[in-house]
Amino acid sequence: WVVFVPSVIPGELVQLRIYRNFASYSSADLLSVLSPSPHRVSPQCSIANECGGCQYQHVDVGYQRKWKRMHVVELLERIGGIEREEGERVVKETVGTDEVYNYRSKLTPHYEAPRDRTEIDVIGFQRKQIRQLIDVPSCVIATEEINEALPGVRQRVNDRLKAGELKKKKGATLLLRHANEGVIFDHNQYVTTNVLDLQFKFKAGNFFQNNPYMLPNMVNYVVDQAKGEIGGEMTHLVDCYCGSGLFCLSASKSFDVCVGIEVNDKAVEEAQQNAALNGITNCEFIAASAEQIFYGGQVQSYPKDKTCVVIDPPRKGASEEFLEQLLKFGPKRIVYMSCGPDTQARDTKILLAEKKYKLSEVVPFDLFPQTRHIESCAVFERS
């Protein structure tokens, strides 16, 4: 029988209270820690045990990263069909930086429908284990600049409520995006941020990785793995699910030809603008679903022994149709970045099924310290 309880560490003896039973497990609240783990630390946030934004503040960072690596190993075994010994070999240590607090450059607190209230006193995030908001007046993983701006944003919500400008039937999600221009609140305002020697311009509300301290390490790794070792370098890059061009543009100096494909046409426009902004002329961006990149056209003429395909799909992973097309195309190397190690493990099983590829290595990246979230990069070589 499994009991899920937050804010504990494996091996601890705890006192808990079960509040709900299901068919095969129970959910419980933590009452006290009777025998603490040597890896237990005091959270910097006073509401860390209640707020659902962070799950690991009670665990020292080194142990967080150890468990994140182990989680990737276990998923590859359970879902990907990789033997445990092989998983231990290919999954490397989790890569992180010393910036484990005040690193997050985007914050999106919520508030619920005001209805007949005269004041909105809860603006924050969902509580642990229950669908209810908890008030978050400041956030220890957000940048200091965001925390300085947050009180004013919260006050403006209530000012708008008193002025009758808020919709009574629904709440909203606020935006605080820290970029070169400062802290921006308008989803549609263009902002810029620097990654290594490139500048990227995008709408503040659009997706862009929000740990500027960790991002250069991740980008360097993807580019290094994509281009290959001296003497066996790739010349052509295909970047699928390319977004606003982060990996494609960052790798442009290392390849003769780069093409990115993205279903979101607005993101493609941003990628094209970012290429022009940085004076990059060997990157082309196409607005289409990733599956279409291998249907005829220029990519089919790329030399497969000199082509690397980079994929960075959403959390749901790549589609079976895309993976079938990818296997049929057969590039020399595949670099698969994922924000969902479970779906990455699922897709790994498909990529390895026909023994056309071998899994060279997997590197977890700690983009979100204090939370359970992991970015994982898997590198596949054609057999």
292 is in an annotated binding site: no
Q: Is 63 annotated as a binding residue?
A: no
Q: How far is CA 374 from CA 71, 81, 94, 351, in A?
A: 9, 20, 9, 21
Residue 212, SS3 per DSSP: coil
CA atoms within 13 A on the CB side of 146: 25
Q: Is 197 labelled as part of a ligand binding site?
A: no
Query: Which residue among the candidates 54, 248, 339, 377 is catalytic per the annotation?
Result: 339
374 neighbors 84 (Cβ within 8 angstroms): no
User: CA-CA distance, 87 to 74, in Å (whole number)?
Assistant: 8
CA distance 291 to 342: 21
Residue 190 is assigned to a ligand binding site = no
What are φ and ψ of residue 195, in 5° steps? -130, 115
- To the query of whether residue 45 is one of the catalytic residues in this protein, the response is no
Residues 6+ apart with CB under 8 A from 324: none
DSSP E strands in 72-175: the ranges are 106-107, 110-111, 124-126, 133-135, 172-173
Strands 190-195, 198-203: pairing is antiparallel
Query: Which residues are annotated as part of the binding site?
Result: 209, 241, 262, 312
Active site residues: 339
Query: Which residues are annotated as part of the binding site for S-adenosyl-L-methionine?
Result: 209, 241, 262, 312
